[in-house]
Structure 1
């Protein structure tokens, strides 16, 4: 799992007005809690926080340096401005590397789906992230799923995924991750009308709907 370090500062002023002033300075109000400790109000640099998440993903372990002490955390929750889509508040959860967590890990399809292509099909991703239980130290930024073996008769299911040691999926093994789906052009090429002429893609689509 990717680990990053950010400098945090203790936040003494709270409330809407104080938070608005912090955001105007490109800082994010946040709170750090967990391990039976009292919540601590903090602030951090917005641009550095955004760069950290962009580099390592939403499940990265982030070491927050606060008043000379390091604290291992992950992002538990983020609030965003609905218009600008900027992060406006972050909840950091204190963790240890061997602690078991429940998180959603993004799924990334990789490889060349040559088998599906030869069948006149394209890849359709059905599951965007996997809900897992895992030690914090082994959670990857994303799960890479190879689609080289994907075909019409061979979809990829959760049970087919190779997970890191110690990680367990909390979804049913039959849940579809990716399927091969015929294109309209491929269907149209195989469907002939009564005169033996190829059916148009639009007609093929209409036939599929019926």
Structure 2
């Protein structure tokens, strides 16, 4: 997959707004061996590419005849609309390993008849050659019971991937449902007698 980008000649909030109004996404290409290049990407082409390669997939970007192999390092979305505001693209060379964030998904929740499944970690940080990076990690919880937990160490990591996330962290656990205790009824006998104003206590 290859995108064509144009170098940004204007920067700043106003310029970015104008670019987005024209269907362009402000972006920056950078890397260990690459000077930062501010560019504009076609919004529809970028969205189509990300749907095809995935959130951390690798693709190429052509800027004035120079081609970069990149992946999305960071993406900023609009607060109230499903729109991309800005993208950071990390460029790399063949065989070079970089730090990447790989999403973690839970599978098999529907098989658990008792207990509440809680996912504590939704991504792993790894060091890997981007072309060899997995698109995701799947944790199967179908045979877990109340009290069970799976940790980062339980996820199978390929030999060419260096795991940077703490292996002792809990990824997912199954806990017992919380039973809400009903408040104890208050006896009317415990309520203090109301005092009648103006009553003469000595009249008896």
TM-score for the superposition, normalised by structure 1: 0.75
Q: Which of 45, 50, 54 pairs up with 1:57? A: 54
Match of 1:202 in 2: 180
* C-alpha distance in structure 2 between counterparts of 1:179 and 1:23, whole Å: 42
Question: Residue 137 of structure 1: SS of its match in structure 2?
Answer: helix
Number of aligned residue pairs: give it: 184
Matching of residues 92-111 of structure 1 within 5 Å: 92-111=89-108
Query: Cα–Cα, structure 1 residues 144 and 38, in superposed 2: closer, same or farther, change >3 Å?
Result: same
The answer (yes or no) to whether the contact 1:6–1:64 under 8 Å persists in 2 is yes
The answer (yes or no) to whether the contact 2:53–2:59 under 8 Å persists in 1 is no
Question: Residue 104 of structure 2: SS of its match in structure 1?
Answer: strand
Query: Cα–Cα, structure 1 residues 127 and 15, in superposed 2: closer, same or farther, change >3 Å?
Result: closer
Q: Which of 22, 25, 28 pairs up with 2:22? A: 25
Q: Which of 5, 10, 32 pairs up with 2:2? A: 5
* C-alpha distance in structure 2 between counterparts of 1:29 and 1:51, whole Å: 16
Match of 1:168 in 2: 162
Match of 2:171 in 1: 177
The answer (yes or no) to whether the contact 2:2–2:60 under 8 Å persists in 1 is yes
Larger radius of gyration between Structure 1 and Structure 2: 2
Match of 2:189 in 1: none
**Shift in Å, 1:153:** 4.4
Render the CA deviation track for 1:73-127: whole Å, top value 9, x for unaligned.
Answer: 122233333343522222212112422222221101123564x42xx22322121
The answer (yes or no) to whether the contact 1:5–1:64 under 8 Å persists in 2 is yes
TM-score for the superposition, normalised by structure 2: 0.77
Match of 1:190 in 2: none
Match of 1:154 in 2: 148
Question: Residue 52 of structure 1: SS of its match in structure 2?
Answer: helix
Question: Residue 158 of structure 2: SS of its match in structure 1?
Answer: coil
RMSD of Structure 2 on Structure 1 (CA): 2.6
